[in-house]
Amino acid sequence: MTRQSRWFRVQSIGTILRPGTGETARDEFFDPWQESILEIDERWEDGLIGIEQFSHLVVVFYLDRAQRRRTAGEPRQAEDASGLVPVGFFSTRTPKRPNPIGLSYPRLLRREGSRLIVTGIDAWDGTPIVDIKGYYPRDEMRPDAEIPDWLALLWTRHDEERGSGG
């Protein structure tokens, strides 16, 4: 039995501000560790009380400029990197998804009223925020989690390219 598709309405609770990235091309790398601002609508400001006690957040955002995927398409190498096994898009972090929702776990540097200053978020300037939660290591961290070999190889390549060495 196939279930009918359901549609949902969500609202933006704020906007991600990344100074200097407004003209970043969709496929161009930009530094996720750049200091950014989560500007929360004032009507939600009281909902932020206590958030500054967390070191990290869970941020759900809408990839408003990403092309929505309409079919699964053919499996392909993640990031078109050579030498990797082809995988389906659900195995990757491509922004081209049936529902272009992004997740990030940035470090919270400080709170200034309805603004949260963070580092480590991978979103364009002006991206709408759908939700914010405090990061609960006991609930979010999975020490028994495993990743495929192709992803470990891809991460090693990224570290080498960026000179971080891991």
Q: What is the pLDDT of residue 88?
A: 92
Q: Read off the pLDDT of residues 2-57 as tens digits, 9 standing for 90 and up.
A: 677 888 889 999 999 997 765 554 555 667 788 999 999 999 999 999 999 999 99
Looking at residue 135, its amino acid is Y
Q: What is the pLDDT of residue 26?
A: 52
Q: What is the pLDDT of residue 82?
A: 87
Q: What is the pLDDT of residue 114?
A: 97
Dist CA 51 CA 36 (whole Å): 16
Determine the Cα angle at 155 with ends 56 and 87, to 5°: 105
* pTM score: 0.84
Q: From 3.90.79.10, 2.60.40.420, 2.40.30.70, 3.30.70.360, which CATH number describes the 14-162 domain?
A: 2.40.30.70
Q: Read off the pLDDT of residues 120-129 as tens digits, 9 standing for 90 and up.
A: 998 989 999 9
Instruction: State both tokens at 151.
Output: 């992803």
Provide CB contacts within 8 A for 92, sequence distance 6+: 78, 79
Enumerate the H helices of the chain as residue ranges: 137-140, 149-162
Q: What is the pLDDT of residue 49?
A: 97
Q: What is the pLDDT of residue 32?
A: 74
- pLDDT of 71 over the 90 cut: yes
Return the domain boundaries, the chain.
Answer: 14-162
Q: What is the pLDDT of residue 23?
A: 56
Instruction: Classify residue 22 by burial, with Cβ atoms within 10 Å: 0-12, 13-18, 19+.
Output: exposed
Q: What is the pLDDT of residue 121?
A: 93
Within 10 Å of residue 152's Cβ, how many Cβ atoms? 11
Q: Read off the pLDDT of residues 77-125 as tens digits, 9 standing for 90 and up.
A: 888 888 889 999 999 888 889 999 999 999 999 999 999 999 999 898 9
